[in-house]
Amino acid sequence: MRRLRNVKIVATLGPSSNDYDTIRALSEAGADVFRLNMSHGDHEEIRARHAIIRKIETDLGRPIAILADLQGPKLRVGKFAHGAHDLEEGDKFRLDLDDAPGNGDRVQLPHPEIFAALKPGATLLVNDGKIRLKVEECGPDYADCVVTVGGTISNRKGVNVPDVVLPLAALSPKDRKDLEFVCELGVDWVALSFVQRPEDMLEAKELVKGRASVLAKIEKPSAVEAFESILAVSDGIMVARGDLGVELPVQAVPPIQKRLTRRCRAAAKPVIVATQMLESMIESPMPTRAEVSDVATAIYEGADAIMLSAESAAGNYPVEAVTTMNNVAMSVENDPVYRDVLDASRAGIKKQTVADAIVSAAREIAETTDVKAIVCYSESGTTAALTARERPHVPIIAMTSRRNTARKLCLYWGMHCVMTGEVERFKMAVVNAARAARTSGFATEADKIVVVAGIPFNHAGSTNILRVAPCEERLIFNTDPE
């Protein structure tokens, strides 16, 4: 199951993709990572999906990453006496802590921390921004607003507060229970919602205790402003364009997506571009041209992964959606302009360590000689991540003895992960690398590969050796002095 593309595909599981046959079909169509949305489904449902993925992983003989996406604190209005009310521009409307059913003049907003942070002039967005309220006067238990964009407000609609950094923890009590559950279950990545500051990520990582990698979802203006400090303490990033496009002007999202993608690559951390990528395929077997262009743009920008949400979780055509993404990715990556863009964006990446120099040299050798693949030994995943940052023209094979590392690396650009036994001598590492390249279909016995590793083996962060090696074992043993 060698992928004929470098960008990875993340597919969300749900009612439309809840059984072995469908999930396996998604994997065979191109899904590299499966997302478990903790906003939907109880723990037993999540456990069952996790077990199916691991069974498919065994049956297909290739690592599969699992991403658990935490719900985060959900801000919602209360209920209305008559279910819904129409608000028109210029109307006065109050939000307060009173739990009495709402009417055309007011409704409960059961979040005192919002009132504590609000100031006159702040904007409140209801129902994904379809209704906009401007705060005229506020106190510790109320906010008197004027409607600037009208619409129908109804029970339990979500509220966004784009102008204010809210004194809310990114982890709700539900999130803490879910986090412990998925870490014990054995997921590879955890996505933290509602991130506003680096402290949110540090709190989550302290609770995870190294059992999974932690990814920050960027969906708040405050997270965009604090992005560099959030990136520094995160293992990866998701550009969650849904809420980001609600809380910011929609025209601001594409430049932010491009900027964040480049910063993640420079930091050698994976970035997922998510939300509404093939939205029409929830109900249609074919995407719109605009959606195809949107997916292609994320790939041209150098994203590590692109994600399907409702398209694969609740849509009528989950396998077709993955197939479409896979086909778009292959088409883009075969375009010479794609390589031009990736190569040009490499210029801004600073290289300061021996490992940086080694993987950069591996990429340059692969580009100037007839080398078929770069094989990197990586116990923690750091060497593989640095190699992926180079965006080489040849395939990357990541060799590791740690299954959790192989699974984690499934999210990284261009990574083909292979499990191997522990090695102690570099000669055997080269032999194993050559076998993996041949077995995976990347090279023949007549070809050469570049092998990158660290001596001594099995120590994280020790990348210090590079060798151009033949793929024929007889030549390896005859020419290697070890």
Q: What percent of the chain has pLDDT over 90?
A: 86
Q: Is 258 a catalytic residue?
A: no
Q: Is 217 a catalytic residue?
A: yes
Active-site residue identified among 217, 220, 389, 408: 217
Residue 477 pLDDT: 65
pLDDT per residue as tens digits for the range 359-395:
999 999 999 999 999 999 998 999 999 999 999 999 9
pLDDT reading at 482 higher than 60: no
Mean of pLDDT values over 399-408: 95
Predicted TM-score (pTM) of the model is 0.93
As a whole number of angstroms, the distance between CA 413 and CA 435 comes to: 22
Among 308, 228, 305, 239, CA closest to 270? 305
pLDDT reading at 28 higher than 70: yes
Q: Is 420 a catalytic residue?
A: no
Cα-to-chain-centroid distance, residue 200:
17
Residue 455 pLDDT: 81
As a whole number of angstroms, the distance between CA 479 and CA 351 comes to: 32
Residue 163 pLDDT: 83
Q: How many angstroms separate the Cα of 97 from the Cα of each of 74, 162, 200?
A: 16, 20, 26
Map out the domains of the chain with their CATH numbers. Answer: 8-73+169-332 (3.20.20.60), 84-160 (2.40.33.10), 350-479 (3.40.1380.20)
Amino acid at 345: S
Q: Are 466 and 452 in contact (CB under 8 A)?
A: yes
pLDDT reading at 423 higher than 90: no
Go through the chain and tell me how many residues it has.
482
Mean of pLDDT values over 423-450: 91
Residue 167 pLDDT: 86
Mean of pLDDT values over 257-282: 97
Amino acid at 178: D
Q: What percent of the chain has pLDDT over 70?
A: 97
Active-site residue identified among 261, 275, 387, 405: 275
Sorting pLDDT into bands at 50, 70 and 90, what band is 458?
Answer: low
pLDDT reading at 474 higher than 90: no
Q: Is 76 a catalytic residue?
A: yes
pLDDT reading at 1 higher than 70: no
Tokens of 272: 């997922």
Q: Which residues make beta-bridge pairs with 125?
A: 132, 160
pLDDT per residue as tens digits for the range 180-205:
999 999 999 999 999 999 999 999 99
Active-site residue identified among 24, 47, 54, 76: 76
Sorting pLDDT into bands at 50, 70 and 90, what band is 85?
Answer: very high
Higher per-residue confidence, 350 vs 80: 80
Active-site residue identified among 3, 5, 8, 35: 35
Tokens of 441: 């279909």
309 three-class SS = coil
pLDDT per residue as tens digits for the range 154-164:
999 999 999 88
Higher per-residue confidence, 167 vs 212: 212
Residue 478 pLDDT: 66
Average pLDDT score, the chain: 94
